[in-house]
Amino acid sequence: MAETWVDIPAGSGWGLANLPYGVVDRDDPRLVVAVGNHALDLRAAAAAGLLDRTGIAREVFALPRLNGVLEQTPGHWAALRDAVVTILTAPSEPAADLLLDRHTAGTLMPFAVADYVDFYASEHHATNLGRLFRPNDEPLMPNWRHLPVGYHGRSSTVVVSGTPIRRPSGLTKPPGGALARRPSASLDVEVELGAVVGFGNRSAPVPAAQAARRIFGFVLLNDWSARDIQAFEYQPLGPHLGKSFATSISAWVVPYEALAPFAVDGPAQDPEPDEFLRQPEPRGLDVRFELVLDSAAMAESGAQPDVVSRPLFRDMYWSPAQMLAHVTSNGAKVSPGDLYGSGTVSGPDRGQYGSLIELTWRGADPLRLPTGEMRSWLHDGDTATITGWCESDTNRVDFGEVTGTIVPSPDAA
Amino acid sequence: MAETWVDIPAGSGWGLANLPYGVVDRDDPRLVVAVGNHALDLRAAAAAGLLDRTGIAREVFALPRLNGVLEQTPGHWAALRDAVVTILTAPSEPAADLLLDRHTAGTLMPFAVADYVDFYASEHHATNLGRLFRPNDEPLMPNWRHLPVGYHGRSSTVVVSGTPIRRPSGLTKPPGGALARRPSASLDVEVELGAVVGFGNRSAPVPAAQAARRIFGFVLLNDWSARDIQAFEYQPLGPHLGKSFATSISAWVVPYEALAPFAVDGPAQDPEPDEFLRQPEPRGLDVRFELVLDSAAMAESGAQPDVVSRPLFRDMYWSPAQMLAHVTSNGAKVSPGDLYGSGTVSGPDRGQYGSLIELTWRGADPLRLPTGEMRSWLHDGDTATITGWCESDTNRVDFGEVTGTIVPSPDAA
């Protein structure tokens, strides 16, 4: 790859191998590509004619969200990535006036979410949750190994990293206690990867072998969960209010193309999925996560945030392409801006569990923070942050983070 | 109410007591109000200054969907209804050039669906489905009488009445047969009322006692369901592909205000809902439905469509206001264009069941059509139509119909 004229710190995961898309500037929202500590202004680049060769109309880059880019074809997406690399490596005319400071302009929701589906694609997570919620039954339902189980979530409450998360209230029944409406006492996180889908408005089934190219890119996703609300409400129609209060995503959409060097074989699938859901290897992605907790007392005392888990996306049983194929399998329309959460990423070991309900075994074994504070669930003032990245000996691609701080319920006593 | 200069057939449910909103004209979509066999062109009325007194900007009426109206306040909605009545009753200057033919202009999706939640609010339906899907358990889950159980559905596949419904394929396991991907063999309907929500983009809990005024109006809704796909997939996260291929709504949004004369007490709620979900009576609505089947052979032979069920909305346990309150109870944002399906409307008697799975007791007792054809589920070429109306001695409000014809799966042998 050619040299760039942009100063990028050594070892950065924000180099030319990444080039994720986002939207910055609260006062004048515009599309950008992150590079180093900068953000390349796509609207200005388009206005200067530097993106004409992509075949994408200039107006698309003047929109305040990525959806106009998402509805292009994968060929357009590749051409756009090429054009950005050309701008950033052109030896003759460095376009420094196209660069903003990535950190101070304020990151916004990168795209308007169309339909949001949340999956349940980690065998370890689904097994753990089955054991916790239905201790007397087989933890995995008979369907689990035959299709990627998922459900629709609430699109209007998907928010960008940094948005405060208000503790929800709902009808809950504590062990030995009475059913009542109260602030959730078991607020949890779920470490997920979100697939951002484009090239849509189509209503034809797309087999898994052909589905990956419809995925524009990925974000980190935190599927905040109120376990006590969820436990009372979820049968027989699935999670609703225990999840619908907030879902946070990272501000930067990492292009699928940037992850190609990190493709890996997925876990063996047994039984082999039917032909429609079958995907040639490598169907996995070697994305690494850290789940980090920080309490108000830790922040005050200057303690380092505490890494409580290190899940690996390569452990996921069902792949994003298989999830997308599944959504289309009944002819349902896929729209630009569709978002598919992977479900909690959990590995076989406790240090790889992607939710507090697994890490603390539903509160039976709380976490001890560096301050000595114990945590079964999130307290008001706690900040949960998920970071994610891919790395090899020669290459690093950073997702940044998705973070949120819990603010008290207005119903708190 | 003043006399109108519009010719309206005697006994019509499309008089000044109704005035539902819709969008007509494929070539030049515009907002209209149905009156008699006509449609009042709101864009033209606004351009002529006739809607200025509503306080709604003229541009809102030039949009191709109702969402700009939905995001106004209930006060604006009342002013709009007043202004329309004034136009239609003004003695001095009949505005006949503002009237289109309601039947030939082509009805389109009246609004862009934001988040779609489907409920399960009929005790009779939930009990019947519980018996059919979980014969060894209590049919109603412990949560059912404490909150309106619901789940998010797919917004992108909500379509307007008349749209053909393609038979979906999915992984199904027939009794005694092998699991395989095949076209659904148990395609069903669900008779529902859909509440169209406006006045939104708010994230504060709205108690049931205050929620009704946020409902702009109602549509008929058919929650097409592939029972074999649903039965295999739905645990533990709820219905997904068995429902997500299509949901049809009627073309006309009947204003809540038009239904005020048809408010009735709802069924007793025991236990009494908690304060947040409690709604003063009358919380029910006396909407009557007919579910009508028509096979290809019936259409050819000139047989009258067959009314197979007559559900009553007044039998619903949970009200639309209670559903809306529930959605907001955790602080989730409500958006203009949110759609809340009531869940299947079923009464205590078989002639009032709102789905084929109940009417045929999952195929054990098929329906006989006038041609002698037997139906456990929908066949290709069948047309299912739901009509709905309210009536009193002096007043009638028609919802029109929601209809769809089943077209074969592309995977059919």
Q: Are A250 and A402 in contact (CB under 8 A)?
A: yes
**Residue B79: is it exposed, middle or buried by C-beta count within 10 angstroms (0-12/13-18/19+)?**
middle
CA distance B407 to B245: 13
B104 vs A220, higher pLDDT? A220
CA end-to-end span of chain A, whole Å? 59
For residue B149, list chain A residues with Cβ-Cβ distance below 8 A: 233, 236-237, 240
Q: Looking at residues B294-309, what average pLDDT do you find? A: 94
Last residue of a domain, one of A60, A75, A101: A101
Q: What is the predicted ipTM?
A: 0.96
Contact list, B235 vs chain A (CB under 8 Å):
141, 143, 236
What pLDDT is recorded for position B182?
A: 97
Contact between A24 and A99 under an 8 Å Cβ cutoff? The reply is no
| Burial class of A157 by CB neighbour count within 10 A (0 to 12, 13 to 18, 19+) | buried
> DSSP per residue over A162-213, as a string?
T--EEPPEEEE--TTS--EEEE-S-EE-BEEEEEEE-S--B-S---HHHHGG
Judge: A114–B155 Cβ closer than 8 Å, yes or no. yes
User: Which of B179, B181, B330 shows the shortest C-beta gap to A244?
Assistant: B330
CATH number of the domain where residue A262 is located: 3.90.850.10
Please tell me the distance from the alpha carbon of residue B135 to that of residue B86, in angstroms, as a whole number.
57
Pick from A36, A66, A101: which residue ends a domain?
A: A101
Tracing tokens 């000139």 back to the chain, one arrives at B302
**Confidence class for position B404, pLDDT limits 50, 70, 90:** very high
pLDDT band at A204 (very low <50, low <70, confident <90, very high): confident
B155 neighbourhood in chain A, CB within 8 Å: 114-115, 155
Judge if A36 and A157 occupy the same domain: no
Q: Give the nearest partner residue to B245 out of A236, A245, A332, using CB atoms.
A: A332
Q: Which of A38, A103, A124, A125 is catalytic?
A: A125
The confidence score (pLDDT) of residue A94 equals 67
Which residue of A lies nearest to B244 if distances are taken between CA atoms? A332
The pLDDT of B308-332, averaged and rounded, is 97
Confirm whether A125 is a catalytic residue: yes
Q: pLDDT band for B311, please (50, 70, 90 cuts).
A: very high
**Residues A237-264, mean pLDDT to the nearest whole number:** 97
Range of the domain at A146: 116-407
Query: What's the pLDDT score for residue A93?
Result: 65
B220 & B258 share domain: yes
Residues B77 and B195 in one domain: no
Residue B230, pLDDT score:
96
- Residue B178 shares a structural domain with residue B61: no
Q: Which residue of B has its CA nearest to A140?
A: B236
Position A244 in a domain: yes
Asked if residue B220 and residue B84 are part of one domain, the reply reads no
Instruction: Please compute the mean of the pLDDT values over residues A189-206 and round it to a whole number.
Output: 88
Report how far residue B90's alpha carbon sits from residue B87's, in angstroms, rounded to the nearest whole number: 5
Is the pLDDT confidence value at A17 over 60?
yes
Say if A12 falls within a structural domain.
Answer: no
> What is the pLDDT confidence band of residue B298, given thresholds at 50, 70 and 90?
very high
pLDDT digits (tens, 9 = 90+) for B361-395: 999 999 999 999 999 999 999 999 999 999 999 89
What confidence tens digit (pLDDT) does each residue in A285-338 have?
Answer: 999 999 999 999 999 999 999 999 999 999 999 999 999 999 999 999 999 999
Residue B413 lies in a domain: no
pLDDT at residue A114 is higher than 60: yes
Same domain? For B120 and B68 the reply is: no
User: A189, A115, A172, A39: which is closest to A337 by C-alpha?
Assistant: A115
Q: Please report the number of interchain residue pairs, chain A to chain B, with beta-carbon separation below 8 angstroms.
A: 165
Exposed / middle / buried, residue B280 (Cβ in 10 Å: 0-12, 13-18, 19+)? exposed
CA angle B8, B13, B19 (to 5 degrees): 80
Residue B5 lies in a domain: no
In a domain, A4, yes or no: no
- Coil/strand/helix, residue A270: coil
Q: What is the 3-state secondary structure (H, E, C) of B41-80?
A: EHHHHHHCCCCHHHCCCHHHHHCCCCHHHHCCCHHHHHHH
Rounded average pLDDT over A169-189? 96
B226/A329 CB distance under 8 A:
no
pLDDT higher than 60, residue B413: no
Asked whether residue B96 carries a pLDDT value surpassing 90, the answer given is no
B65 inside domain: yes
pLDDT of B199 > 90? The answer is no
Q: pTM for the complete prediction?
A: 0.97
- Residue B161 domain-assigned (yes or no): yes
Which pLDDT score, from 0 to 100, does residue A200 have? Answer: 67
Q: What are B103-160's pLDDT values in tens digits?
A: 877 899 999 999 999 999 999 999 999 999 889 999 999 999 999 999 999 999 999 9
Verify that A219 and A94 share a domain, yes or no.
no
Judgement on whether residues B131 and B49 belong to the same structural domain of the protein: no
Identify the helix (H) or strand (E) that includes residue A268.
none
Name chain B contacts of A117, Cβ cutoff 8 Å.
240
8 Å CB contact of B236 and A237: no
Please tell me whether residues B158 and B93 are part of one structural domain: no
Q: Is residue A107 in some structural domain?
A: no
Q: How far apart are CA B212 and CA B256, in angstroms?
A: 8
In this predicted structure, which of A371-380, B88-97, B267-276 has the lowest mean pLDDT? Answer: B88-97
Same domain, A83 and A134: no
Q: Which of A50, A73, A101 is the last residue of a domain?
A: A101
Q: Nearest CB to A237: which of B150, B327, B338?
A: B150
pLDDT at residue number A95: 80
pLDDT of residue A201: 60
Instruction: Indicate the average pLDDT of chain A.
Output: 95
A115 and B154 within 8 Å at the Cβ level: the answer is yes
Asked if the model's pLDDT at residue B92 lies above 80, the reply is no
Structurally, how many domains does chain A consist of? 2
For residue A258, is pLDDT > 60?
yes
Residues of chain B in contact with residue A133, where contact means CB-CB under 8 angstroms, are: 236
Write out the E strands in B138-296: 150-152, 158-160, 165-166, 169-172, 180-183, 187-188, 191-197, 215-222, 225-226, 247-249, 254-255, 263-264, 284-285, 288-294
Residues of B that are catalytic: 125
Q: Most B CBs within 10 Å: which of A330, A339, A340, as the mutation test of the B interface?
A: A330
Question: When comparing pLDDT for B359 and B202, which is higher?
Answer: B359
A77 and A226 part of one domain: no
| pLDDT tens, position by position, A75-104 | 999 999 999 999 999 876 668 889 999 887
- Nearest CB among A143, A238, A334 relative to B232 is that of A143
Same domain, A40 and A186: no
Helix, strand or coil, per DSSP, at residue B382:
coil
